[in-house]
Structure 1
Amino acid sequence: MQRMPRRGRPSVAEAGQLYGKILKASWEVLRETGFETFTFDRVARHAHIGKATIYSRFAGKVELMEVLLEHGVALCRSRIIAQGPGGSMAERFRLRAIETLNLLHSPDGKLLESLIEWLDIEAGSPQGGHRARVYRSAVESIRDEFVQAQAQGEIVIGNCEDAARFWLEGLLGHIKMSCSEAGQERADHAAWAERYVAFFFAGVRLQGSPGGPLA
């Protein structure tokens, strides 16, 4: 009887796939069971892998949750940035506003919000560290796009940092308000985004004049 060749260490590609499999299973278990009953045992069973495989990559629950947060934020950002390629800046940002509202109102978006809160409160993160990092990263991404657009002559903004903050804070403020009101359907998001983009970019166009609101 011919013996099967002994399996060596997984390749880089296989290791990456396994890492992604753990994160996918962790997210699905978290969505199904919540934070209190989330365990590596449950993740291992869900992913059909050994628990030791998870512990070889993550020291404990908090470390896994931190990586899961980074992964979830990166996926959301890639979906948002993919909206409206090739269109005008106002059109790109209109589509991104709609996608942002849809994502953050979705079950996965609400779970991402709960994950940030759990890490900052339950896991003892000081001074809202995870929320602050997520917010800061988003501001920097938007600011960099404003800087690039200004360099290409597409817009004129006196202070790209403040403009990025105002854009993001307007979106997050609307999300907070809409959660307590009716109007969480895609059509409602599209209507609000249309008004918000018109208002925001009308202000941006004023930046060429002295004393503009964001100068």
Structure 2
Amino acid sequence: MLRPRRRPAQQRSRERYARILSAARDVLVDVGFESFTFDEVAKRASVPIGTLYQFFANKYVMICELDRQDAAGVVAEINRFAERVPALEWPDFLSEFIDHIADLWRNDPSRRSVWLAVQSTPATRATAAHTEQELLDGISEVLRPLAPGSDADVRGFISGLLIHTTYSLLNYSVDRPGDAGMRELHYELTVQEVKRMLISYLMTVAEKAGG
């Protein structure tokens, strides 16, 4: 599992750590993962390169830490939705959740860059899978009423299918050449069809679970 050597405890160090990760996001978006270097991150964060190595052994560890940041934000949103269930029906939950994730991907290009980067090696993929487990557990609990007789493994599989399908199609939604109007239309249509597809899938799951 790829983890930082340490995380800062004092406020000043935490601020510097946050600045490093913010700079890392900018570099990743600007140059891509293959050209991503600690030299450039250190320069943009205005810290000595040795400071980066105090926390991160290499760029793979740093990318996985960015992925943890992104996952934590999504988990917080899942928890917020969970407080509204069962008052919020699951199709509404799924629709709002997809809207939220889609807005993140459109408004923060670094999320897509991080998602692509963690697919780069077996170690980063394994770390990302471990990171996303809390997210999958949260979705599984929110959707539990859909298939109350299903065991945890089945609900976990459904949750994984939902999140990986959503991320893959959101990557497609923002990966469109052309003018701004065409890109926006492509994005809106893709998000709309993601909702239609996943809600239909979950309706089938619910029907089968109901006998």
Shorter-chain TM-score: which interval?
Answer: 0.5 to 0.7
Kept in 2, the 8 Å contact 1:40–1:51? The answer is yes
What is aligned with 2:21? Answer: 23
The CA distance in 2 between the partners of 1:201 and 1:88, in whole Å, is: 16
Aligned 8 A contact 1:156 1:207 in 2: yes
Kept in 1, the 8 Å contact 2:28–2:110? The answer is: no
Are 1:143 and 2:143 matched, yes or no? no
Q: Higher relative contact order by CA 8 Å / sep ≥ 6: 1 or 2?
A: 2
Structure 1 unmatched runs, 5+: 1-9, 210-215
Counterparts of 1:58-137 in structure 2 under 5 Å?
A: 58-79=56-77, 81-82=79-80, 86=84, 87-90=87-90, 91-103=92-104, 107-120=109-122, 125=123, 128-134=125-131, 136-137=133-134
| Cα displacement string for residues 89-143 of structure 1 (whole angstroms, at most 9, x for unaligned residues) | 41222211233345457733321222112243xxxx29x4235334544322322
- For the structure 1 residues 168 and 42, does the alpha-carbon distance in structure 2 shift closer, same or farther, using more than 3 Å as the test? same
Rounded Cα–Cα distance in structure 1 between residues aligned with 2:13 and 2:167: 38
Deviates most, 57-66 or 197-206: 197-206
**Which range moved further: 23-32 or 60-69?**
60-69
1:191 and 1:65 map into 2 onto residues whose CA distance is 30
Question: Letter of the aligned partner of 1:70 in structure 2?
Answer: R
Give the counterpart of 1:204 among 187, 202, 206. 206
Would you say the 8 A contact 2:27–2:41 is kept in 1?
yes
- The letter for the 2-side match of 1:185 is Y
Query: Which of 156, 162, 165 does residue 157 from structure 2 map onto?
Result: 165
Q: Distance in 2 between matches of 1:172 and 1:88?
A: 23
Residue 208 of structure 1, CA deviation: 4.8
User: How does the TM-score come out when normalised to structure 1?
Assistant: 0.67
Distance 1:130 1:89 in 2: 33
Structure 2 counterpart of 1:53, from 51, 54, 71: 51
CA distance in 1, matches of 2:58, 2:194: 42
Rg larger in structure: 1
Identity across matched positions, percent: 16
Q: Quick one: which amino acid aligns to residue 148 of structure 2?
A: V
Please, what is the CA RMSD of the aligned residues? Answer: 3.6
Mean Cα deviation higher: 107-116 or 157-166 = 157-166
Kept in 2, the 8 Å contact 1:44–1:54? The answer is yes
How far, CA to CA, are the matches of 1:174 and 1:11 in structure 2? Answer: 35
What TM-score comes out, normalization by structure 2 length? 0.68
Spell out, residue by residue over 1:135-177, the C-alpha distance to the aligned partner (whole angstroms, 9 max, x if none).
5443223223345xx5xxx973433431342244145346646
Gap change, CA 1:20 and 1:101, over 3 Å in 2:
same
